[in-house]
Amino acid sequence: MKAYAVLRPAAAKRLIAKGVKARPSVKRALKEGTIVVTLGTTNGYVAEELLGGPIDRGAFAAGLIEDRWNINARLGEEGEVIMVKGKRVKLDTDELLDSLTAGDVIIKGGNALDPFGTVGVLMGAENGGTVGRYVSLALARGVEIVIPISVGKSIHTPISELAMKLGTRRLDLGDGLPCGMFPLVGEVITEIEALESMFDVRATHIASGGIGEGLGSVSLLIEGEKEDVSAAYGLICSLAGEREPPLEGRR
- The CATH number linked to 47 is 3.40.50
pTM > 0.85: yes
pLDDT at 25 over 90: yes
Domain hosting 35: range is: 12-190
Residue 93 lies in a domain: yes
pLDDT tens track for 41-76: 999 999 999 999 999 887 887 765 554 444 455 566
Provide CB contacts within 8 A for 59, sequence distance 6+: 72, 74, 75, 76, 77, 78
Q: How many domains does the chain have?
A: 1
For residue 140, is it within any domain? yes
Residue 2 maps to a domain: no
If one compares 192 and 246, the residue with the highest pLDDT of the two is 192
Across 122-136, 139-153, 196-210, least confident range: 122-136
Write down the pLDDT at residue 76: 60
In a domain, 52, yes or no: yes
Give the pLDDT score at 244.
80
3-state secondary structure of 189: strand
- DSSP assignment of 83-152 equals EETTEEE---HHHHHHH--TT-EEE---SEE-TTS-EEEEE-STT-HHHHHHHHHHHHHT-EEEEE--GG
Question: 212 lies in a domain?
Answer: no
pLDDT at 111 over 80: yes
Check residue 223 and give left, alpha or beta (phi > 0: left; psi -120 to 50: alpha): beta
